[in-house]
Amino acid sequence: MSNKISLTRYLVEQQRTHGRIPPELRLLIEVVARACKRISISVNKGALGEVLGSAESENVQGEVQKKLDIIANEVLIEANEWGGHLAAMASEEMDSIYVVPNRFPQGEYLLMFDPLDGSSNIDVNVSIGTIFSVLRKRHDDPKIIDPVSEADFLQPGRQQVAAGYCVYGPQTTLVLTVGDGVAMFTLDREQGSWVLTQDQVTIPEDTKEFAINMSNMRHWDTPVKRYIDECLAGQEGPRGKDFNMRWIASMVADVHRILTRGGVFMYPWDKREPNKPGKLRLMYEANPMGWLVEQAGGAATNGRERILDMVPTQLHQRVSVILGSKNEVDLVTRYHLEADKTA
């Protein structure tokens, strides 16, 4: 018998041995993982499967959709309406929430996803991914089963009950937390199964690597500029060490590197669109990634407050994001708070 631990066995142990998740949540996660397997098949087909290129449509945020954005969204909806134990879903690619019709099995969970993260990398064969987050629908009065609405989704990220992503790269890896640390599962394509390849992932507290889109430098706010200038000054500067830089432009791939070897990732507010709090989405990107990073011993803030404490007011809310190695995130956050005091 193989001593490899499958995703199913990991989840059964989380349910039965640790009592951390109910059976319905275990099944929901398995359905999401199966959907990711299907998305990975489409991603791998590339030009052979006519999945590359633009779909010539726009999402609610005015971004041009790629064919794979739409395919991945449909795969997740279709898989989860049947087996997800869900009340409703919300996606970066849909204008409003999708309430699971009552011809399908009903449940108390709410699933949110960025079906295809890193869309600009699809056509150039660079790592992309799927990000997901699960909340429980709140019941103010257990006797009243009120219809699900967008307001049910507007919960702070600290109330997530599961979160994860799947990165479609040289390997396909599913990364998951149910609040008991972070586990990584690699897809064994021959067996068609997810195999636990790392458990209790830990992000080093210190790092010499930052990730930010440097082309936006002239638009940054003072604290971000101060931090990056100090990194760039290297050994002779106030940090006393040389820093390396990486920017993949797929949050999934950048966060995966940080979970693997540490680093700090930033997509901060900038002056290009001053009324927009940031580029990334709170519900589909920042919350799930923030929880994963915290579960691995890192930190995640918007420069001023912990991402997971933010109470959303809109489904498609944007947010400034700084996450990764704890001491670096603390430093960037301190620079923001110091700048606020002198303003």
Ligand X SMILES: O=P(O)(O)OC[C@H]1O[C@](O)(COP(=O)(O)O)[C@@H](O)[C@@H]1O
Is 232 known to sit in a ligand binding site? no
99 within 8 A of 147, measured Cβ to Cβ: yes
Binding positions for Mg ion, rule: CB under 5 A: 92, 114, 116-117
Instruction: Provide the H-helix boundaries in 214-286.
Output: 222-232, 251-261
CA distance 31 to 25: 10
CB-based closest residue to ligand X: 251
Among 213, 222, 244, 314, the residue binding ligand X under the rule CB under 6 A is: 213
Give the three-class secondary structure for 305. Answer: coil
Q: How many residues bind ligand X (CB under 6 A)?
A: 11
Is 117 known to sit in a ligand binding site? yes
Closer to ligand X by Cβ: residue 37 or 256: 256
Residue 232: partners with Cβ closer than 8 Å, 6 or more residues away = 243
Site for ligand X, residues 230 to 249, rule: CB under 6 A: 249
Closer to ligand X by Cβ: residue 109 or 284: 284
Question: DSSP assignment of 307-343, as one string?
Answer: GGG---SSTT-EE-EEEESHHHHHHHHHHHHHHHHH-
Is 285 known to sit in a ligand binding site? yes
**Which does residue 267 touch among ligand X, Mg ion, none (CB within 5 to 8 A, set by kind)?**
ligand X
- Of 252, 251, 186, residue with least CA distance to 37: 186
- Tell me, what amino acid is at 166? C
CA distance 343 to 338: 9
CB of residue 52 vs Mg ion: minimum separation in angstroms? 15
**Backbone angles phi and psi of 262, in degrees to 5:** 90, 175
Is 127 known to sit in a ligand binding site? no
Burial of 31 (0-12, 13-18, 19+ CB in 10 A): buried
Question: DSSP assignment of 97-143, as one string?
Answer: -EEPPTTSPP-SEEEEEEEEE-GGGTTTT--EEEEEEEEEPP-SSTT
Closer to ligand X by Cβ: residue 183 or 258: 258
**Which does residue 295 touch among ligand X, Mg ion, none (CB within 5 to 8 A, set by kind)?**
none
Is 50 known to sit in a ligand binding site? no
- Of 116, 162, 118, residue with least CA distance to 136: 162
Is 119 known to sit in a ligand binding site? yes
Site for ligand X, residues 47 to 106, rule: CB under 6 A: 92
Closer to Mg ion by Cβ: residue 84 or 115: 115
For ligand X, what does the binding mask look like between residues 96 and 135, x meaning CB under 6 A? ------------------x--xxxx---------------
Site for ligand X, residues 152 to 211, rule: CB under 6 A: none
**Which does residue 185 touch among Mg ion, ligand X, none (CB within 5 to 8 A, set by kind)?**
none
Binding-site sequence positions: 92, 114, 116-120, 213, 279, 285
Binding-site sequence positions for substrate: 117-120, 213, 279
Contact residues for ligand X, defined by CB under 6 A: 92, 114, 117-120, 213, 249-251, 267
